[in-house]
Amino acid sequence: MLIDFFKEILAPKKCYSCKKEWNFLCENCQKKLKNFSSICYLCKKKSNNFEIHKSCKKNILEKENIFFELDNIIIFSHYKNFVIKKMIEDFKFYSKKDIAEDFAKILSEKFIENFRGGFKDYIIIYPSMHFFKRITRWYNPAKILAKKISENLKIKLEKNIFKKIKNTKAQKFLSRQERLSNLEKSLVINKKQVDKIVDENIIIVDDIISTWATLNEMAKILKKNWAKKVIWLVIASD
Ligand SMILES: [Zn+2]
Ligand SMILES: [Zn+2]
């Protein structure tokens, strides 16, 4: 056990793809990876800065009666890509926190590429982790990532914007309506921090998109509390 621990610490960084020593994802392999071009997350068609089309938001409202409050969803790659999948798994579940540095670099570049010049009036936040998860996992991967990106981009990081008060019930057994109200109750804004988001553009940093419902709920709450734009910056989508 202890030997493994030291091996891990002393082992040089190796690229997950080509195995050469340097970074966890070397620049060559990063370029070769299937990278998302700037699209609208909902219709997957071309869109500037990964902006969600107004017409797509309108569609969701008409079809599903949901206000889509996320303005841009910036994604680096696909979770189906085995290199990215392995990296995310190691980062999230196997305490390979060093990977955050490579991910943060990738996401910072992706963000700059799309918001060239104009992001000084932005702040960065991250989703909170549920209490039970916090017991079994002693770090919040999204928080580590958010902190590094805030350093890279020199954008302020605001901590603990959300409190998560209860475990969301197993969502799959609930109807869509129940699911949403369940989510709504499980997300509570931290009253002590609420003035930090007023009139700000907000970047929520996360590792993976599995469902947009939770994040949309977050965006809704942020806007109710006078946030301006809400952007989701994420490594991979399902
Ligand atoms: Zn490589
Ligand atoms: Zn669209």
User: What does 46-111 look like in DSSP terms, one character per residue?
Assistant: B-GGGBPPHHHHHHHHHHH-------EEEEEEETTSHHHHHHHHHHHHS--TTHHHHHHHHHHHHH
CA of 150 to the centre of ligand 1 (A): 26
> Where do the structural domains in the chain lie, given as residue ranges?
22-237
Residues 124-175: pLDDT tens digits?
A: 999 876 655 555 667 888 999 999 999 999 999 999 898 866 655 555 666 7
Instruction: Examine the pLDDT at 41 and tell me if it is beyond 90.
Output: yes
Task: Please indicate whether residue 191 or residue 179 has the higher confidence score (pLDDT).
Answer: 191
CA of 208 to the centre of ligand 1 (A): 22
The ligand minimizing its distance to the Cα of 23 is 1
* CA 216 centroid distance within chain: 12
Instruction: Examine the pLDDT at 188 and tell me if it is beyond 90.
Output: no
Q: Where are the alpha helices (DSSP H) in 115-202?
A: 131-136, 141-153, 176-186
The ligand minimizing its distance to the Cα of 57 is 2
Q: Range with the lowest mean pLDDT among 9-18, 60-69, 138-147?
A: 9-18
Residues 199-236: pLDDT tens digits?
A: 999 999 998 887 788 889 899 999 999 999 999 999 99
Region class of 94: left (phi > 0), else alpha (psi between -120 and 50), else beta: alpha
Using pLDDT thresholds of 50, 70 and 90, give the confidence band for residue 180. Answer: low
Residues 90-138: pLDDT tens digits?
A: 998 888 888 999 999 999 999 998 887 677 789 999 987 665 555 566 7
The whole-number pLDDT of residue 134 equals: 56
The whole-number pLDDT of residue 4 equals: 57
CA of 62 to the centre of ligand 2 (A): 14
Using pLDDT thresholds of 50, 70 and 90, give the confidence band for residue 187. Answer: confident
Q: Which residues contact 110 (CB under 8 A, 6 or more apart)?
A: 74, 76, 233
Q: How does DSSP classify residue 13?
A: P
Q: What span, in angstroms and rounded, lies between the C-alpha atoms of 11 and 8? A: 5
The ligand minimizing its distance to the Cα of 39 is 2
Rounded mean pLDDT of 170-192? 72
The ligand minimizing its distance to the Cα of 44 is 2
Using pLDDT thresholds of 50, 70 and 90, give the confidence band for residue 32. Answer: confident
Phi and psi at residue 35, to the nearest 5°:
-100, 140
Q: What is the CATH number of domain 22-237?
A: 3.40.50.2020
The ligand minimizing its distance to the Cα of 87 is 1
The whole-number pLDDT of residue 214 equals: 82
SS3 155: coil
